């Protein structure tokens, strides 16, 4: 008995990122009919700039959610990394490049701590990262309550500089985000490490029986996510020009929103980092489009909340049908 190939169109729609991509295109078409300024290159460049920090946080969040975990600490860990990168260099006199490395080491260390608590003590990721959220918040405030302005030309703000593509100014940070997405996508889709991450998210016990060292995979995922939060800190400093201890207050919720809207399942094992980028862009497009239409910002938050609930509901129904 031969297997018939499935309907190519239905197979395409079953891909996690296709639904969010269609939603993004529909949103773009709608807002293009509402505002003449929406389709301009300058406006699209602005949207990508606005979602770059959340997009980077969401990449790390995607890795963790793919293993059926969650990270509530990422925004505050990013804030700690940002103030270390700036204050050590421009108040403490440390070499700016070394200050960046210290900030990256601090965020990576928090990721490692989360991973150790989840794997060694077998604590729920929600509880672990809720605790480290408060630790990162406290350490940031203990270290400083003041913003640190970064002089122009310093390496901390390089990613905020722009180059011209036609008449459109594009930041190096936008290109950096796209490169980061492609690197993580390649690792997840084309390497044994990526296959192990999906396997652990689908069924950790089956993965263990198949010879996958589940704890090492989880430890690596949380540590890598922490490093990516440090890159998000660098993007945040480059975009604003300051190391801000108030940054990242809603980073956890915004990154989870991008991940969910991008088609990644909160139950683990399903999703792509490309979908996460699309999810971040959906939020950015809605906020930008509604702002161009003159809609009050509170309705932007309302619509984002509705979109998240719909995305999770669709994922849940899909799992039940499967």
Whether residue 176 contacts residue 264, with contact meaning beta carbons closer than 8 Å, is answered with: no
Those residues whose C-beta lies under 8 Å from the C-beta of residue 176, and which sit 6 or more positions away, are 52, 159, 231, 235
DSSP class of residue 165 equals E
Q: pLDDT tens, 124-159?
A: 999 999 999 999 999 999 999 999 999 989 999 999
CA-wise closest residue to 265 among 176, 201, 182: 201
Q: pLDDT tens, 188-213?
A: 999 999 999 999 999 999 999 999 99
Residue 102 has pLDDT above 90, yes or no: yes
* Residue 263 to residue 286: CA distance in whole angstroms: 17
Residue 9 has pLDDT above 60, yes or no: no
Q: pLDDT tens, 254-304?
A: 999 999 999 898 888 899 999 999 999 999 999 999 999 988 888 878 887
> Global pTM?
0.91
| Rounded mean pLDDT, 61-65 | 97
* Residue 204 to residue 235: CA distance in whole angstroms: 34
Q: Average pLDDT, whole number, for the chain?
A: 90
| Rounded mean pLDDT, 311-318 | 73
Task: Please write down the HEC assignment for all residues of 266-281.
Answer: CCCCCCCHHHHHHHHH
Whether residue 243 contacts residue 92, with contact meaning beta carbons closer than 8 Å, is answered with: no
Residue 306 has pLDDT above 90, yes or no: no
Residue 10 has pLDDT above 50, yes or no: no
**pLDDT of res. 314:** 73
Q: Which residue has the higher pLDDT, 191 or 16?
A: 191
Whether residue 275 contacts residue 264, with contact meaning beta carbons closer than 8 Å, is answered with: yes
Would you give the end-to-end CA distance of the chain in angstroms?
23
**pLDDT of res. 313:** 79
Instruction: Report helix angle 41-66 to 273-292, nearest 10.
Output: 140
**pLDDT of res. 311:** 76
* Residue 231 to residue 176: CA distance in whole angstroms: 10
**pLDDT of res. 189:** 94
């Amino acid at each position: 008995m031969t297997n018939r190939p499935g309907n190519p169109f239905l197979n395409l729609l079953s891909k996690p990122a296709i639904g969010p991509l269609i939603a993004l295109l529909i949103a773009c078409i709608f807002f293009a009919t509402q505002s003449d300024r929406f389709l301009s290159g300058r406006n699209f460049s602005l949207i990508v700039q606005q979602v770059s920090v959340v997009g980077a946080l969401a990449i790390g969040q995607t890795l963790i959610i793919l293993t059926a975990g969650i990270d509530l600490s990422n925004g505050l860990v990013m804030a700690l990394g940002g103030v270390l990168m700036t204050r050590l260099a421009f108040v403490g006199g440390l070499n700016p490049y070394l200050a960046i490395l210290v900030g990256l080491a601090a965020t990576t260390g928090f990721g490692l701590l989360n991973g150790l608590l989840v794997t060694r003590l077998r604590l729920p990721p929600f509880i672990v990262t809720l605790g480290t959220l408060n630790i990162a918040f406290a350490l940031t405030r203990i270290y400083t309550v003041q913003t640190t302005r970064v002089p122009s030309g310093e390496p901390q703000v390089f990613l905020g500089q722009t180059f011209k593509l036609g008449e459109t100014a594009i930041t190096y940070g936008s290109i950096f985000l796209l490169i980061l997405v492609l690197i993580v996508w390649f690792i997840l889709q084309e390497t044994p490490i990526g296959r192990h991450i999906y396997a652990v998210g689908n069924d950790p016990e089956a993965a263990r029986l198949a010879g996958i060292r589940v704890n090492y995979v989880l430890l690596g995922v949380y540590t890598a996510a922490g490093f990516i939060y440090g890159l998000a800190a660098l993007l945040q400093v480059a975009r604003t020009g300051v190391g801000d201890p108030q940054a990242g207050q809603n980073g956890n919720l915004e990154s989870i929103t991008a991940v969910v809207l991008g088609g990644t399942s909160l139950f683990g094992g399903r999703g792509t980092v490309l979908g996460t980028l699309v999810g971040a862009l959906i939020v950015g497009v809605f906020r930008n489009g509604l702002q161009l239409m003159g809609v009050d910002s509170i309705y932007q938050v309302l619509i984002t909340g509705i979109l998240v609930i719909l995305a999770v509901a669709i994922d849940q129904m899909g799992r039940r049908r499967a």
